[in-house]
Structure 1
Amino acid sequence: MWVAEWVCKGWYWISNWVCKAWHTVVEWVCIAWHWIVIAVCIAWAWVARTACTIWAWIAKWVCVAWTNAVCWLLVIVRSVRRRRHATAGSPGIKHVFVLMLENRSFDHMLGFARLSGTDPATGAPTDADDLRAGTHFNIDPADPTNQVLAASPADFAISTADKDPPHEFLNALEQLAGPGARFPDPVTNGYPAAIDNSGFISAYRGAGSPDPAKIMNCFAPRQLPVLTALAREFAVCDRWFSALPGPTWPNRFFAHAASSGGLDDSPSGFEVATSTLVDGYRFWNGTIFDRLEAACIDWEIFEGDEFPVTFALSGMDLYALDGHFTDFEDFRTKISDPDYAPRYVFIEPNYGNVLPTTKEDFTCGNSQHPLDDITRGERLIKDVYEALRGSPHWESSLLVVTYDEHGGFYDHVRPPGAVAPGDPISDPDNDHHHFDFRQLGVRVPAVVISPYVKRGTIDHTTYDHSSIPATVERLFGLAALTARDAAARDVLHLLQLARPRTDTPVTLPEPADSGFVCTSDAQAASVVAADPMLRRTMAQSPVPAPLKGFLHVSYRKRLETIPIADQAARQRLTSRFTAIRTELEAREFIHESRTILRALRRSGRPLETIRRVESPSTPAPR
């Protein structure tokens, strides 16, 4: 028994030590394996991170090199194309500037300027097609026996009591084709053929003006010394027409896209969160800014206030992040830089008080809106010209000053037909009247300015706003956007001098003294706050057509202040916007948006810092 007991004890003792030894070995093997795995993982992570960093660096420089190579190739191709398709104009022009103002017809601004000079096509003496004959009139339906002649002078600003002259699609239809005109016309099934510019007074009376004959009043040269001086000093185009017979927004779209995407009237309300609301207005072939970007040609938009119309275009939020939008107050400083790079510059004015805090819409801006003091826009024109004239780029620049549409004011020249853009309607909500875009709108002022333009040029060439992208495209060797700009005349033929002039004025006359005093936002707010009847009227009125576009821009600009990661806040803003039904709600939204944007500007925190910080999923700017 003792032998078996001893064997068992010995076996237990041996087994115990064997197990302890095995456990110790296994434990140390596991610990060693753990440290080996950690070391391998750390090494692998370091190698992978290093490899990724190196690859990202290589990829970045490959992309940069590829982009630069493509850009250089495009420069070479454009240079060859320009030499092959050389025109008589564009000597040494590297920069194109466009200043587009608001709502004035040619006759209203220059009809009594008595502009005379030389026809660039024939070299013969010629006069502008203006009102000097003194026989152009309309008839007031309230007094059919009275012929109301176009006369001078005009009021520096239209009062709200006189009413903002109507200029929507149906208003322009009446102004061009007379009272009772219909669209589609029962004879042509399109725009009426019998255009005689006879319905300006009747349309203004229909808008509720107590003195509709004022629509025939035109400025005297002494009232517009700046614009008149430029028209005499350079080239005035007396057949530049708005792109369609209608309001601001679609006409401005033609200046950027040679199309309005089918929009034939002011923007409609945004009662639902459509792609146009969030992403902006799209065009099948993009815009001139997209063309320039794809061709590696720098461009810039100078904004006169927080709500530039161009911001309503799709993609402009990303372009803003990339630095393509600049406050106009920096215009003189930027173009004074000898290395200023942008080849195309579009200048937007300050559109004035589109706020709930003032009875006087669009006042205190410089867009020359009919409700605002015309001389403030004269100051803007003077500032733009003199800044460019004093810059290092004057001898390589072309400046076009024009107006988006006629603003309801009389003009005696019958607008001709047009080539339809040919692109599809980009949003069904754009199509208000089923317009085919084969008719140009009312004539507007246009002055082409460059040291290569002969003094006293009177140009009778037919243009419309698609002549702007057409000029840029042909100057820089870009393809046309639509059939409209492909057929449009450019202004390069007006650059007839081989050498730049040395006699162009360094300064322009001072604007006239209108006696207009601008009401500050604070003062206007107190006026409206103390006027409950006005607020009650606004609360019961639908959103006015001219405000809808600016309301949309204010939404898009304000959306940019909310981080993309904060989807709940962005949705709340969108829901509030789509719930707007009244004029008061619209004005309060615009006012709040402007206040937020101004506070950000004063704080020195640009919108791009907001969007770039908040979310790793934020797309990089183009």
Structure 2
Amino acid sequence: MQFKSLVYLAAVAAAAPNLHRPGSPESIKNLKDKIKNVVIMVMENRSFDNLMGGQTLAGLENPIQTGPYCNPLNISNPGTGTGCTEALDFDSIINDPDHSISGNNLEFYGSFTPDNAAIKAGTLQPDMSGFLTEQIRLYGKKADEQVLQTQVINYYTETQVPVITALTQNFVVFNHWHSDVPGPTNPNRVALCSGTSAGKGKNNFQYNTMTQRSIFQEVTELGLEWKDYLVDTSIQDARWFTWTYESNNTDRIVFMDEFYEDARQGTLPHLAYINPSCCGVGTNSMHPTGRVSDGEQLIKDVYEALRGSPQWHETLWIVTFDETGGFHDHVPPPRVARPDNATHSETTPTGADYTFAFDRLGGRMPTWLVSPWAAPAVEQKGVDACGRTVSYHATSILRTLGYLWGFAPYNPRVKGAPSFDHLIGTELRTDVPDKFPTVSHFPPQQDLQTVVQSRAREWHFHIYFLLQSPTEKAAALALRDAVLRLRRDGKYNDRVFFFFENLPLTTQRRFCCGSAAPSQRVSHRTASCWIIRDVLIHPLTTLQRRDHEFRNGWLGKPWPIYLGGLPIESAEVPLQYPELRLGWSTAPEDELSLDERRKKGAELEALLAGDPEAAPAPAN
């Protein structure tokens, strides 16, 4: 029986499982009776082994339970060594792994151009051995190989991702859920909403270009309501489809503050689709270089909004990802029915041409079902309409929503997808948590050489202000010198810009502490400084606030500061601004002496002596 694919948690007062066959009349009736509102949130670029690798819940297949798993550093030369799965010690990474179709080919099959005929015949199987090879190929000239291998193959522990752990332990988690396209973000998001990427295999197409039927059109024509809720404007999945524009439904695309208000008032639509912000520093989709902890905060906020909503008792929340983002997973993706006759061709990094027929899935990624009707469980593989045991994938959502709202599968891919209607139970749970745990923030890196040479930064801030008088300029320069003294004394490990923009007094000025190595591109400079610790930002105008909060060029909320109130000369950063928390806190028993700190500071000054942009510390 299909319900044996579940691993239920013992000693939990959970909802009674639905023992009906997936897609059966009894299961569909139960689904319709229990669920009136569906919330779908699609996060970004994390594989199962990466995000779930440290989860100890029985039934999960991951590095901590069934590993470790290893990859050669160079698949063409195994003698160069291997890297194996271990726990991570950082929140996110700078070097975004390859998640193109060609990159996935190398990561899965060890070749940019695997033999499609052999794959179709079943004589060529993915061995999932090329992740380190591809990461080192992409970034080996810029970073240490050991750093690169830890970035792509290591995993998060339960305590590092407490919100993910709470999701996993309290609701349904899928052990075998794959993306629909072994490629990048946009084709996968389109496929999740419509069952096909219509031959798109790259992120090289625009909004208002996809002509196929989507879930947004379907829901509207069924007389149901939907909204696409945005954290910012970086991802707007409803906009991919021409129907959204032609039917004048772009006004259903709104910002997240409306989601929280709708949840509070009990007015969420039948379909609430959530787009996180993407894709880097300060965003919350979990896409590198964005922090996993910021994504956890979004998940926590959405859960608690739904849990406190009057609609909670009739809601199903699906938390999933678009694709694996090039992060290692050891489970080979299976072959699957083609959605249509479209193909995608691209030139690989070796110059060869490769054509993909959309006949196999992408990597395995985390997905959960959250509902008071969903018992805590590990769901293994599903059952398709023909009774075959198959892996779940993104279009399983469309297959299940088709049962809920009564619409036919859009194409063979959707028709062959296993549904999860049977995971909705028959009794309302009373044991679900009201809140999720507090997000865990990774500690700052404190090794001096690592901080300076590996682009991991302790903290970083920009100060934006309007120069209205020479006094304010002098105060800003004094603040910079105070930070330089901290560096000299070993309390601050980073580079401080030498320059100070000398523009007309009525023009915005920028004083910038901290950055990356001078050889880095600007994009790396704006990315590398925030991987470890929060950024403090100090804009004054509405435009500057919008730039920081909605364009996602920076991290953190603005913190206004009046520089005119700072003393022009001070041995330390003024105590009247303790909220700036410059440097990091140290337990008294671990505090270094002044001589020890100055020794470290001298080492740092020596490391930066050849940097033409780095300001030297004041002599006194």
Could you say which TM-score interval applies, normalised by the shorter chain?
0.5 to 0.7
- Retained in 2: the 8 A contact 1:241–1:444? yes
2:286 matched to 1:350?
no
- Retained in 1: the 8 A contact 2:259–2:268? no
Structure 1: distance between partners of 2:334 and 2:440:
34
Tell me the secondary structure at the aligned position of residue 194 of structure 1: coil
Q: Counterpart in 2 of 1:434?
A: 355
- Retained in 2: the 8 A contact 1:90–1:492? no
Structure 1: distance between partners of 2:198 and 2:377:
37
Q: Residue deviations 1:333-365, cap 9 Å, x none?
A: 112223x2511111000115xxxxxxxxx1101
Residues 444 and 83 of structure 1, relative CA distance in 2, 3 Å threshold: closer
More helix by percentage: 1
Residues 435 and 454 of structure 1, relative CA distance in 2, 3 Å threshold: same
- Retained in 2: the 8 A contact 1:302–1:327? yes
Cα offset, 1:528, TM superposition = 10
Structure 2: distance between partners of 1:92 and 1:246:
35
Cα offset, 1:514, TM superposition = 2.6
Cα offset, 1:405, TM superposition = 0.8
- Retained in 1: the 8 A contact 2:381–2:392? no
Q: Counterpart in 1 of 2:243?
A: 315
2:328 matched to 1:395?
no
Structure 2: distance between partners of 1:103 and 1:503:
31
Q: Counterpart in 1 of 2:70?
A: 137
Cα offset, 1:536, TM superposition = 11
Q: Residue deviations 1:16-35, cap 9 Å, x none?
A: xxxxxxxxxxxxxxxxxxxx
Structure 2: distance between partners of 1:223 and 1:84:
41
1:96-175 matched pairs, under 5 angstroms? 96-116=38-58, 126-128=59-61, 131-141=64-74, 144=79, 146-159=81-94, 163-175=95-107
Structure 2: distance between partners of 1:363 and 1:186:
41
- Retained in 1: the 8 A contact 2:191–2:395? yes
Residues 317 and 394 of structure 1, relative CA distance in 2, 3 Å threshold: same
**CA RMSD, Structure 1 to Structure 2 (Å):** 3.8
- Retained in 2: the 8 A contact 1:176–1:196? yes
Q: Which among 320, 326, 346 is matched to residue 254 of structure 2?
A: 326
Q: Counterpart in 1 of 2:615?
A: none
2:364 matched to 1:443?
yes
Q: Counterpart in 1 of 2:124?
A: 193
Q: Counterpart in 2 of 1:93?
A: 35
Tell me the secondary structure at the aligned position of residue 231 of structure 1: helix
2:397 matched to 1:464?
no
Q: Which among 278, 300, 306 is matched to residue 382 of structure 1?
A: 300
Cα offset, 1:244, TM superposition = 1.5
- Retained in 1: the 8 A contact 2:162–2:438? yes
1:553-568 matched pairs, under 5 angstroms? none
Q: Counterpart in 2 of 1:217?
A: 154
Tell me the secondary structure at the aligned position of residue 259 of structure 1: coil
Tell me the secondary structure at the aligned position of residue 139 of structure 2: coil
What letter corresponds to residue 485 of structure 1 in structure 2? V
- Retained in 2: the 8 A contact 1:300–1:344? yes
Structure 2: distance between partners of 1:512 and 1:447:
20
2:408 matched to 1:479?
yes
- Retained in 2: the 8 A contact 1:235–1:447? yes
Cα offset, 1:530, TM superposition = 12
Q: Which among 308, 318, 324 is matched to residue 406 of structure 1?
A: 324
Unpaired runs of 5+ residues, structure 2, are 1-22, 383-390, 445-458, 466-496, 498-508, 525-545, 552-620
Q: Which among 475, 491, 500 is matched to residue 428 of structure 2?
A: 500
Structure 2: distance between partners of 1:534 and 1:169:
33
What letter corresponds to residue 134 of structure 1 in structure 2? G
Tell me the secondary structure at the aligned position of residue 316 of structure 2: strand
Residues 164 and 428 of structure 1, relative CA distance in 2, 3 Å threshold: closer
Cα offset, 1:232, TM superposition = 0.8
2:257 matched to 1:364?
no
**Larger CA deviation: 143-152 vs 212-221:** 143-152
Tell me the secondary structure at the aligned position of residue 148 of structure 1: strand
Cα offset, 1:493, TM superposition = 1.3
1:60-71 matched pairs, under 5 angstroms? none
Structure 1: distance between partners of 2:122 and 2:298:
36
- Retained in 1: the 8 A contact 2:244–2:250? no
Structure 1: distance between partners of 2:134 and 2:278:
24
What letter corresponds to residue 439 of structure 1 in structure 2? R
Tell me the secondary structure at the aligned position of residue 86 of structure 1: helix
Unpaired runs of 5+ residues, structure 1, are 1-80, 117-125, 269-276, 353-361, 542-589, 596-622
Residues 404 and 365 of structure 1, relative CA distance in 2, 3 Å threshold: same
- Retained in 2: the 8 A contact 1:114–1:130? no
**Larger CA deviation: 254-263 vs 212-221:** 212-221
Q: Which among 308, 331, 336 is matched to residue 264 of structure 2?
A: 336
TM-score (norm 1): 0.63
Cα offset, 1:323, TM superposition = 2.9
Structure 2: distance between partners of 1:534 and 1:281:
41
Q: Which among 137, 156, 160 is matched to residue 206 of structure 1?
A: 137
TM-score (norm 2): 0.63
Tell me the secondary structure at the aligned position of residue 79 of structure 2: coil
Q: Counterpart in 2 of 1:257?
A: 194
What letter corresponds to residue 37 of structure 2 in structure 1? H
Residues 154 and 447 of structure 1, relative CA distance in 2, 3 Å threshold: farther
- Retained in 1: the 8 A contact 2:28–2:404? no
Tell me the secondary structure at the aligned position of residue 368 of structure 2: strand
Cα offset, 1:422, TM superposition = 1.6
Structure 2: distance between partners of 1:99 and 1:397:
13
Report sequence identity in percent.
25
1:22-41 matched pairs, under 5 angstroms? none
What letter corresponds to residue 39 of structure 2 in structure 1? F
Cα offset, 1:423, TM superposition = 5.6
What letter corresponds to residue 510 of structure 1 in structure 2? T
What letter corresponds to residue 69 of structure 2 in structure 1? H
Residues 479 and 413 of structure 1, relative CA distance in 2, 3 Å threshold: same
Q: Residue deviations 1:362-403, cap 9 Å, x none?
A: 110111112111100000000011100110111101011111
- Retained in 2: the 8 A contact 1:184–1:191? no
Q: Counterpart in 1 of 2:230?
A: 303
Number of residue pairs the alignment of both structures matches: 432
Structure 2: distance between partners of 1:508 and 1:94:
24
Structure 1: distance between partners of 2:299 and 2:247:
26
What letter corresponds to residue 94 of structure 1 in structure 2? K
What letter corresponds to residue 227 of structure 2 in structure 1? E
Residues 236 and 521 of structure 1, relative CA distance in 2, 3 Å threshold: farther
